[in-house]
Structure 1
Amino acid sequence: MISIEDCIGLTGLTREEIDAIAEHEHIPESAATALAGYLMTTSEGPAAVRQMIRDDIREALAAGNREHAAELLAALRHFLAEHPVHP
């Protein structure tokens, strides 16, 4: 049987990045994993994931949740390191 960890591994993203997608889209982790798998195969997908994480950071800061914003910022930094923006 395939686990959620196996599914996350197939996306090329981390659990934290998947969790940010789930938070942004208000969907379960399993659905976020499927969405991430799809997005990362499209030319615009990485930009969409970056924007989702940025939006989550803004929401966390607006809610006064600096700790969560810091966690999301770490996820964004990792994402940018693994999926750099190409002009």
Structure 2
Amino acid sequence: MVTYEDTLGLCELSEGEVMAIAEHEHTAPIIASGIGSYLIQHHGEQIISQYILDDMVRAQKHGDYIHQIELQQILAQFLAEHPFQGTPH
């Protein structure tokens, strides 16, 4: 049986990045790790960064500033490890 930890180890993303995808896509973390893996393999760094930005805006709108800061840190880490050209669309 494949576990979430197995998929996390294979997807080239941190747990925080996977959790941000899960939050954005309203899905289980194990599914989000598959989405993230697909996006990384197909140059979807802009899409992942936009997911995280969307989550940050949602957290801010709901007054969840602690989560907003956590997502800012996740985004900074993601951009440092997965640079891309241009800005998120």
TM-score, normalised via structure 1 length? 0.92
Structure 2 residue aligned with 1:80: 79
Identity of aligned residues (%): 40
Deviation at 1:38, TM superposition (A): 0.8
- Describe the SS at the equivalent of 1:9: helix
Moved over 2 A (4+): none
Q: CA RMSD, aligned part only? A: 1.1
Cα shift readout 1:35-66 (whole Å, capped 9, x = no counterpart):
111111112x1110000000000000010000
Structure 2 residue aligned with 1:16: 16
Structure 2 residue aligned with 1:52: 51
Aligned-partner Cα distance in 2 for 1:60–1:83: 23
Structure 1 residue aligned with 2:28: 28
Deviation at 1:21, TM superposition (A): 0.2
Aligned-partner Cα distance in 1 for 2:62–2:85: 32
Deviation at 1:2, TM superposition (A): 3.5
- Unpaired runs of 5+ residues, structure 2, are none
TM-score, normalised via structure 2 length? 0.90
- Describe the SS at the equivalent of 2:83: coil
Letter in 1 for 2:25: E
What does residue range 63-74 of structure 1 map to in structure 2 within 5 Å? 63-74=62-73
Deviation at 1:16, TM superposition (A): 0.4
Deviation at 1:77, TM superposition (A): 0.5
Letter in 1 for 2:15: R
